[in-house]
Amino acid sequence: MFRSDAVIIIILMKEIREPLIKSTSKRIYSAFPQKESTMPAINESELKEKIKNEPLGIYLFYGEESYLKKIYVDKIVSKTVDEDFADFNFHTFDGKESTLNDIYESVVAVPMMAETKCILVKDYPLDALDENGLGQLEALLKDTPDDCALIFTFVAYEPKGAKWTKVIKFFDAFGSTVKCEKKTQSELTKMLESGAKKRSKFFARGAASYLITCVGADLNTLLNEMEKVCAFADGEEITVSDIDAVCVKSLDAKVFDMIRDLTAGRFDSSFKKLSLLFEQREDEFQILGALIANYSDIYRAKSAVKSGNRAEKAAEFYNYKGKEFRLTNAARNSSSLSFDAITDCIEILADADSTMKSSAFDKRLVLEQTLVKLARANGK
């Protein structure tokens, strides 16, 4: 948390102090980093088809969307393991406590009183394997029998680096790599609308997008809140009022509302929202982190718009998948702000971050003073 806030501030301060140069081709500010290339992987439709018709085989699940990883791993297990003999034919390995040799012995063993078996490996440090370890992994994948579903998945961390690229190539050669990425806002909206329809409900225009704005893009949280509001809504239509009545807003959404009041000149309302966050015992560092994140959105959205693009263009250069609405809302909030005002706000937040982490100042007082300074900067 603290490290990520500092990184955001450093990046933004660097962006501010460097000249904003338009590229001749896409007219995007040089503040935007280059997009990373993606590795080959089977898509969600192909995965569903494989699980349905041919669930056995080798799988590598990775990516940010933990909910999807769990859902699909559970489906493979249920399709390949006879519950009556699960003790014999379903084995789970913790990657921190197991060796590839342990996994190998379990993989090549004959199923007991069943035709198939499943081996699930969680958080094995594949991205840390040396050449000998990579050789053992290749042998494991080559020797996996046809009666086995071998699943590697990541729960506690996401691997990366040059060695990880080599690991993916191994799994591409012998099995299926599945990158479970965050859904886009459009995809999330369609999922919510489909889920409501299955429950004989429908979202009023804009209500599904509003729900995403309120609770965030985490799929597990979003679907739980959708269940809640479907049960609450009186009648078939789900309205914004229904969402406000029963859904718990994320801290980020609450801070967004606070900044919206600031940029609109409603300082009293903004200060009341900060006081409410204190009453709800929200962590002061978390509040500051949300302020930094929201002003990061404002800066990036403003950059995209000023370069002649839509605010959402910035999503191509930063990790906004499933959170494109942040840029849309940021552009709307910052329409009356100058770049000078925005840079002043970021410097104010940088000072607050430094003060809260390096001194014995009352953290609430620091946040209150910061809000006053932001209000003055926004009023320039």
Helix orientation angle between 251-263 and 207-215, rounded to the nearest 10 degrees: 100
User: Buried b / exposed e across 91-117, counting CB within 10 Å, b at 16+?
Assistant: bebebeebebeebbebbeeebeebebb
The greatest distance separating any two alpha carbons of the chain, rounded to the nearest whole angstrom, comes to 76
Helix H segments across the chain? 2-17, 44-53, 66-80, 86-89, 100-108, 131-143, 162-174, 185-198, 207-215, 219-232, 240-246, 251-263, 267-279, 284-306, 324-333, 339-358, 363-378
Write down the pLDDT at residue 17. Answer: 40
Transcribe 236-288 into DSSP letters: SEE-HHHHHHHPPPPHHHHHHHHHHHHHTT-HHHHHHHHHHHHHTT--HHHHH
CA of 147: how far to CAs of 118, 230, 367, in Å?
9, 42, 59
The two tokens of residue 112 are 């007991």
In sequence order, the β-bridge partners of residue 55 are none
* Domain 44-179 of CATH type 3.90.550.10: no
Model confidence, pTM = 0.70
Give Cα 144 to chain centroid, integer Å. 33
Closest by CA to 129, choosing from 161, 92, 172, 94, is: 161
Helix axis angle for 44-53 and 66-80, nearest 10°, is: 20
Predicted local distance difference test score (pLDDT) of residue 380: 57
- CATH number assigned to the domain with residue range 2-35+250-378, chosen from the 4 options 3.90.1170.20, 1.20.272.10, 3.40.50.360, 3.40.50.1370: 1.20.272.10
Indicate the CATH number of 185-246 among 3.30.2130.10, 1.10.8.60, 3.20.20.70, 3.20.20.30. 1.10.8.60
Rounded Cα–Cα distance for residues 214 and 228 (Å): 14
Q: Could you write out the DSSP letters of every residue in 170-196?
A: HHHHHSEEEE-PPPPHHHHHHHHHHHH
Cα 161 to chain centroid, rounded: 20
Which segments in the chain show pLDDT lower than 50?
Answer: 1-4, 6-7, 9-10, 13-40
The whole-number pLDDT of residue 81 equals 94
157 forms bridges with which residues in the sheet? none
The structural domains of the chain, with segments of one domain joined by +, span: 2-35+250-378, 44-179, 185-246
**59 in Cβ contact with 76 (< 8 Å):** yes
Tell me which long-range contacts 164-172 makes (C-beta under 8 A, separation of at least 24). 164/126, 164/127, 165/39, 166/134, 167/60, 167/126, 167/127, 167/129, 167/134, 167/137, 168/39, 168/60, 170/134, 170/137, 170/138, 170/141, 171/58, 171/59, 171/60, 171/141, 172/40
Q: How are beta strands 90-94 and 117-122 bridged, if at all?
A: parallel
Q: From the centroid of its chain, how far is CA 249?
A: 17
Report residue 38: phi and psi, to 5°. -105, 150
pLDDT tens figures, 100-116? 999 999 999 999 999 99
DSSP 8-class letter at 130? -
